[in-house]
Amino acid sequence: MPEGDTILSAARRVGAALVGMPIVTIETPQPRHALDRWPERLGGRAVCAVDARGKHLFIRFEGDLTLHSHLRMTGLWGVYRRGERWRRSPRRAWLVIRTEQHEVVEFDGPVLELMTDSRTRFDRRLAALGPDVLAAEFDERRFIELLRADDPSRGIGDVLLDQRNVAGIGNMWKAEGCFLAAIDPWRRLRDLADAEALAIVRELRPLMQASAEGRRGGRRWVHERAGRPCLRCQTPIRARGQGDDNRTTYWCPSCQG
Ligand SMILES: [Zn+2]
């Protein structure tokens, strides 16, 4: 599943291809968007900016119109030179924006909507997002306020995936962050100090920022390593579904005891 770092990296690539470039065509191949007339509504408008917030991506056009997208579990943004082969089948494309040099394609993107720029500021779901883990300045105070307003019986692993507490963390980074801060993802909020919650985010921010800049690097300590020896202490890594969505969480019972 794409997490905030993947979306920020996509926003930078999409922005580099579109901002300030004349748009040649816009297509919405899926039947769901057949009546939306986006090509007519967006025709002749330039893209002013492309930005990300958490796992949401925004393509902002001149004249107060913004395309908002969320990739959910399987979506992907592709940026190709004209004529280059796409990484997924054209049948899976939801949005295709062409300039003279590039094709920008959203594949498998079930959340795709055109809204006014002002609505992106007042939209209930977007307004409810917690501070962005990838923001240049992370609002730690707000994050702690939101955490303390949440159900104190929730495990921190579950809490971190709730985009209303902090935006941009997905299942992989959640598990890695808890490991790096030596915190058991099953610890309940009520048993977690503010400093411990902040330690997880402080561990994650530089790693996710590096990833967004294409510097992948670094090992995965626990994610998808169930049953294999911990890279620090050799204890077998454990895995179990957590939270309402039953997302698998991975942890070392010794390092994160
Ligand atoms: Zn360990």
pLDDT recorded at residue 6:
94
Task: Output Rg (C-alpha) for the chain, integer angstroms.
Answer: 20
- In angstroms, what is the span from residue 230 Cα to ligand 1's centroid? 5
> For residue 58, is pLDDT > 90?
yes
Q: How far is CA 184 from CA 35, 151, 154, 215, in A?
A: 49, 18, 13, 27
Q: What pLDDT, in 10s, does the model give residues 9-18? A: 999 999 999 9
From the CA of 229, how far away is ligand 1's center (Å)?
Answer: 8
Q: Give the pLDDT mean for 81-105.
A: 95
Spacing, Cα 182 to ligand 1 middle (Å): 9
| Active site residue ranges | 2-3, 55
Please state, in angstroms and rounded to a whole number, the distance separating the CA atoms of residues 209 and 53.
13
Asked whether the predicted pLDDT for residue 65 surpasses 90, the reply is yes
The alpha carbon of 235 and the centre of ligand 1 are apart by a number of angstroms equal to 5
Residue 3 has pLDDT above 90, yes or no: yes
Question: Chain-centre distance of CA 101, in angstroms?
Answer: 27
Q: Is the pTM of this model over 0.85?
A: yes
* DSSP at 154: S
At residue 226, φ and ψ (nearest 5 deg) are: -55, 130
User: How are strands ordered across the β-sheet holding 93-99?
Assistant: 23-27, 93-99, 102-107, 76-81
